[in-house]
Structure 1
Amino acid sequence: MKSLTILRHAKSGWDATVERDFDRPINVRGQRGAELIGQWLKRQKLPVDRIIASPAVRVTQTLDIFQPAADLDALEPQWDRRIYLASAATLIDVIRDIGGDATHLLISGHNPGLEDLILMLVPESADDELRAQVEQKLPTSALARLEIDIDDWHALDTGSARFAAFIRPRDLDPALSPAMDED
């Protein structure tokens, strides 16, 4: 049995002056969301033994806040450029390549890839309420925890997961309810 935790980067600042999308930072609202989700993970005592992540600035800044809040600051993320704006199929390849001997893997990156990954892994007939929430939108700083009945990440396949948890910043603080410009 493996668990896959999927963490979307925190809300980023579209008003930041950057030359590349890759360099866009998170904003104050994003900082609060990342911290709340990290604290929630710590309270739930959900283990993570490896982190793989996009090296984009908004992901690195998210993890800089999320990891201490989740008591995961001892883990050094493995940065993989393939995760940046990747498709769900590419994310499955990355997980198969890098998952290694991890039992509890966390991947952090971007939409639409992460949302599509969850929808690919969790069959439509399972966990309909949580799946419907993800189909509507995987908001920034949202975290999904999936359980997968495999012994090796190379065996990861579509339709093989079930929800263990799904949490959004707005579930923890109504002041973080989404704006129409959620990115």
Structure 2
Amino acid sequence: MKTITLMRHAKSSWKDAGLNDLDRPLIQKGLSRTRLIVDHLKDKDFKPEYIITSNALRATETAGIMAHAFGIDNEFVRVEKLLYTADADSYYDHCFDLPEKITHTLIVGHNPAITNFANFFLKEKIDYLPTSGIVSIVFATDKWENIPISGGKVTLLVYPKMFK
């Protein structure tokens, strides 16, 4: 079995209008909401071994929080510039070259692509995945190259407002 967990980056700042979109940092609300998600996931059998993240600062900061929370070393965190502008189909592409010993990868990205990818598998479609939201999809295969044809099943959908 292979698992892909999709996570939208945490809430970020729009305070500085002159700041390049790639350079927008997380705000305190984003950090707090991500901690809520982490606390919830620690009570579940949630154990990603690898993280693939967009190169946007808000995504790399979110990925760093998750790596720290789940004990993932930097060598197992990959920054992918193309995730910043990716479409839903390309989310698969970023998993094909993962080592087969990895069974669970976390992808930190952006709307609309991350929502569109999640909607391939959700029975009840969502309009958007909220910031710090998580969708885990399990695939009935032992090879990353087979995930597009192995029928993914959603096993987890959580977002911060569920815990208020």
Q: TM-score, normalised by structure 2?
A: 0.89
User: Which residue is equivalent to 1:155?
Assistant: 146
User: Which residue is equivalent to 1:179?
Assistant: none
Residue 156 of structure 2 corresponds to residue 165 of structure 1: yes
Comparing both structures, which one devotes a greater share of its residues to helix?
1
User: Which residue is equivalent to 1:141?
Assistant: 132
Give the stretch that moved more between structures: 21-30 or 88-97.
88-97
Distance 1:112 1:72 in 2: 29
Judged with a 3 Å threshold, the aligned counterparts in structure 2 of structure 1 residues 150 and 11 are, in CA distance, closer, same or farther, namely same
Greater relative contact order, per chain length (Cα 8 Å cut-off, separation 6+): 2
Judged with a 3 Å threshold, the aligned counterparts in structure 2 of structure 1 residues 65 and 49 are, in CA distance, closer, same or farther, namely closer
Distance 1:82 1:141 in 2: 20
Give the stretch that moved more between structures: 23-32 or 39-48.
39-48
User: Which residue is equivalent to 1:63?
Assistant: 63
Judged with a 3 Å threshold, the aligned counterparts in structure 2 of structure 1 residues 67 and 27 are, in CA distance, closer, same or farther, namely same
Distance apart, 1:158 and its partner CA: 6.4
Asked if the contact 1:85–1:112 (Cα under 8 Å) also holds between the matched residues in 2, the reply is no
Given residue 24 of structure 2, which amino acid in structure 1 is its aligned partner?
A: R
Task: Give secondary structure in 2 for the equivalent of 1:107.
Answer: strand
Distance apart, 1:73 and its partner CA: 4.3
User: Which residue is equivalent to 2:99?
Assistant: 100
User: Which residue is equivalent to 1:33?
Assistant: 33
Distance 1:59 1:74 in 2: 17
Could you report, residue by residue, the CA deviation over 1:52-90 in whole angstroms, capped at 9, with x for unpaired residues? 11121001111233333x333435411111111310112
Identity %: 29
Distance 1:158 1:12 in 2: 35
Q: CA RMSD in A?
A: 1.9
Distance apart, 1:17 and its partner CA: 4.6
Given residue 106 of structure 2, which amino acid in structure 1 is its aligned partner?
A: L
Q: TM-score, normalised by structure 1?
A: 0.80
Distance 1:71 1:150 in 2: 24
Asked if the contact 2:7–2:134 (Cα under 8 Å) also holds between the matched residues in 1, the reply is yes
Structure 2 gap ranges (5+): none
